[in-house]
Structure 1
Amino acid sequence: MTRVWKWNRPVTVREVLEDLQQERTIAYTTVMTVLDNLHQKGWVRREAEGRAYRYEAVSTRAAYAAALMNDAWSQSDNPAAALVAFFGMMSEEQRQALQDAVRIVQGPETRQAPEAVEPRAAQAEQQENPGSAEGAAGR
């Protein structure tokens, strides 16, 4: 899959083979079998081109990683503990990426500046305890 994602376009067995052979010796039939297995599992789609096929990833590498993480998390008998353990393994860069991702998922309508949160919290407290703000101001 790494080689298919690398090009980000439909690739032939020959192209993947030639790329892999720069690092190690590998047989054409091995690459063909792996790509066929990936097709049967639904990870790549293929289109005939002459006597060969062109293979293309069905999803992005990021979507694949997300599916793996979701699968692992859903198998936990204690998802919260699994997340805590996972976050504990993260590097500082990974934690920053996680915070950035959460901000993106939340969207601009849920993001609040700290100054915007304070007045709402004070307003909610005042509604619960109507005399508390006056008493606090006089202290």
Structure 2
Amino acid sequence: MTDNPARERPPIMIAAEEADALSELAVAASTRNPAVSRMLLEEIDRADLVERDAMPADVVGMGSSVTFAVEDGDAARTVTLVYPAEADIEQGRVSILTPVGAGLLGLRVGQTISWPTRNGEERLLRIEAVERP
């Protein structure tokens, strides 16, 4: 982490019902994708766990459609956060076991997070909209 407050990890929320399944998924993926597994476990560990019924509508969870922008002027993208078996990048369905998928989990509209891309570059992601299932 840097001293830049925009680059610090913001507080996140995860549905308690999803946390156990996501932890098991991350542990199972640890041998074939250790970096993303570690990132996802760290995010789950630092999250506030809330009941699904109490989850605010603007928080990214599994099955959410989320519009986010990347700091370097890239156009905003809208994706749906899914489990690996449902992932299809051409259809905009991003796996939770990708760097961006793990990074989006639990964020709220307006929050930003510095997160690594697949090639290890740090990018600042900003959540612009969330539609929960």
TM-score tier, shorter chain, comes to under 0.3
Task: Calculate the TM-score normalised by the size of structure 2.
Answer: 0.22
Which of these two proteins has the greater Rg computed from alpha carbons? 1
Q: Which has the higher contact order (CA 8 A, sep 6+)?
A: 2
More strand by share: 2
